[in-house]
């Protein structure tokens, strides 16, 4: 209603203005080609306005006629672009739907309609890779590297292709190139870091970790654990040749992860070898209270070099009371008692753990007790037979490989911080260590950034 009233009022105002102009007094003399006209002033103004409107209309028509070819070309380009975008969308859908053949056809159509669009060529390369046409995919990727916009995507594709063809060295080269162009690329950083860890190049690996800038609490915890594992690996490598440096690395790891058992074992062994028994025992007591790890108890008993079995048992009684609080404590105490020929104490230490859920370690220790205390071969064989069917005890396990001691990387996959203290699923023999394995046995690099596990009770023990 308001709009209608406004339109009516505006129309009346324009009509009144036109009537007022027409009624203006005076005349205007115009002489054109010998012809003289003397219209009234208002009429002359109206004629001039109409003439200007006519000229503007004629110019608009002329412009439209002159610009018709360009307008038609723009419409054709817009239509071609629309068809190219549609083909590009269909290529993406086909590739995600598991139809790489159609994806390649649609990608080529999109590339024909959008020659400057790198996404079309990238999709064609992905389709070639899915179809197993490696030479064609490689050519597409190498062409895309020349463009700054598509270089990272092309290097990612070449990396995936190299992994598919089991060429880890080539994949690593592409990861290094990606890091040079875009240092923040996560998958490339993880690939390079994983290679450094597999090769035991700990100084370069810890430098990469130190350069990280974690944002969340989880990322900060992950960074600390990585640093602790690497420092422990450096301590492990230098324990014999450079014990002072190894001790520094182990203590640095314990500052990052105060209850990290592997670092505590290395530091305690170095303290013992240097004659600093009290420091070793103090450290081991703290870690024992926090983790209850049997390796800690065993090293605590042997912290004094040259100690007799009776002295070791006495030292074990300092940290383990009767009845033992858990199976690991009972087994550690029983082991020390067996070595000292204290059969009643050994039997008492295992008394709470010889039920139906007795583990292989408990059964084996009971077999030693039966044979050593009474010489009863029958009962000893019964316990040994029971050990064959009993549940396993926790051990350092990585990728179903059991190791006698903790190692920084998995010997199977080369993954850092893979070993956990847990009950193994399958008991496999430990293969050749990574640092002595032949070059062609190095496993393929990961396809994407591999988040290393955060600190857990299993790993810390």
**More confident of the two residues 202 and 75:** 202
State pTM to two decimals.
Answer: 0.70
**More confident of the two residues 457 and 8:** 8
Quick: pLDDT tens for 243-263. 999 999 999 999 999 999 999
d(CA 187, CA 445): 10
Contact status, residue 168 vs residue 413, Cβ threshold 8 Å: no
d(CA 439, CA 400): 23
pLDDT, position 97? 85
Quick: pLDDT tens for 8-32. 888 788 777 767 666 666 666 766 6
Quick: pLDDT tens for 341-398. 999 999 999 999 999 999 999 999 999 999 998 888 999 999 999 999 999 999 999 9
Rounded mean pLDDT, 186-207: 90
pLDDT averaged over the chain?
84
Give the relative orientation of helices 68-96 and 41-66 as an angle to the nearest 10 degrees.
Answer: 50
**More confident of the two residues 402 and 305:** 402
Measured between alpha carbons, how far is residue 313 from residues 228, 239, 333, 338, 340 in Å? 32, 27, 7, 9, 7
Angle among Cα 395, 339, 352 to the nearest 5 degrees reads 60
**314 alpha carbon, distance to own chain's centre:** 48
pLDDT, position 456? 35
Asked if residue 94 has pLDDT above 60, the reply is yes
* Greatest CA separation for the chain: 150
Asked if residue 209 has pLDDT above 80, the reply is yes
Asked if residue 145 has pLDDT above 70, the reply is yes
Quick: pLDDT tens for 104-129. 888 888 888 887 778 888 888 888 87
Quick: pLDDT tens for 405-437. 999 999 988 899 999 999 987 555 454 444 433
pLDDT, position 455? 33
Asked if residue 38 has pLDDT above 60, the reply is yes
Quick: pLDDT tens for 309-338. 999 999 999 999 889 999 999 999 999 999
pLDDT, position 419? 94
Percent with pLDDT over 70 in the chain:
87
Rounded mean pLDDT, 172-190: 87
Main-chain dihedrals φ then ψ at residue 306, nearest 5 degrees: 80, 5
């Amino acid at each position: 209603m308001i709009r209608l009233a406004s339109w009516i009022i505006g129309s009346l105002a324009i009509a009144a203005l036109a009537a007022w102009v027409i009624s203006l007094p005076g005349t205007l003399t115009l002489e054109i080609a010998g012809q003289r006209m003397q219209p009234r002033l208002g009429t002359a103004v109206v004629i001039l306005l109409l003439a200007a409107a006519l000229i503007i209309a004629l110019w608009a028509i002329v412009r439209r006629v002159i610009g018709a070819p360009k307008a038609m070309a723009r419409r054709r380009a817009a239509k071609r672009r629309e068809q190219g975008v549609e083909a590009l969308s269909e290529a993406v859908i086909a590739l995600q739907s598991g139809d790489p053949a159609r994806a390649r056809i649609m990608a080529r159509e999109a590339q024909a309609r959008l020659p400057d669009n790198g996404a079309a060529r990238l999709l064609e390369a992905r389709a070639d890779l899915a179809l197993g046409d490696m030479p064609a995919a490689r050519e597409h990727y190498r062409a895309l590297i020349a463009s700054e916009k598509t270089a990272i995507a092309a290097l990612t594709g070449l990396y995936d292709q190299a992994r598919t063809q089991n060429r880890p060295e080539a994949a690593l080269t592409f990861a290094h190139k990606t890091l040079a162009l875009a240092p923040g690329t996560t998958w490339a950083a993880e690939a390079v870091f994983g290679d450094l860890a597999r090769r035991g190049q700990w100084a370069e690996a810890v430098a990469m970790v130190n350069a990280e800038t974690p944002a969340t609490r989880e990322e900060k915890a992950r960074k600390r654990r990585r640093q602790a594992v690497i420092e422990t690996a450096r301590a492990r490598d230098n324990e014999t040749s450079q014990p002072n440096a190894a001790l520094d690395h182990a203590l640095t790891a314990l500052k990052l992860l105060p209850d990290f058992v592997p670092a505590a074992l290395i530091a305690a062994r170095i303290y013992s070898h240097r004659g600093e028994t009290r420091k070793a025992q103090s450290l081991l007591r703290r870690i024992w209270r926090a983790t209850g790890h049997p390796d800690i108890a065993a090293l605590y008993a042997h912290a004094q070099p040259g100690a007799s079995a009776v002295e070791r048992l006495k030292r074990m009684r300092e940290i383990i009371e009767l009845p033992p609080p858990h199976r690991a404590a009972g087994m550690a105490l029983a082991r020390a008692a067996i070595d000292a020929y204290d059969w009643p104490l050994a039997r008492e230490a295992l008394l709470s753990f010889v039920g139906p859920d007795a583990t292989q370690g408990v059964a084996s220790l009971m077999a030693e007790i039966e044979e050593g205390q009474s010489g009863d071969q029958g009962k000893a064989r019964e316990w040994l037979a029971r050990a064959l069917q009993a549940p396993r005890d926790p051990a350092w396990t990585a990728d179903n490989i059991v190791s006698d001691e903790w190692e920084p990387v998995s010997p199977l996959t080369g993954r850092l911080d893979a070993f956990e203290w847990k009950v193994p699923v399958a008991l496999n023999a430990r293969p050749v260590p990574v640092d002595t394995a032949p070059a062609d046995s190095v496993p393929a690099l990961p396809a994407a950034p591999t988040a290393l596990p955060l600190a857990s009770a299993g790993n810390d023990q």
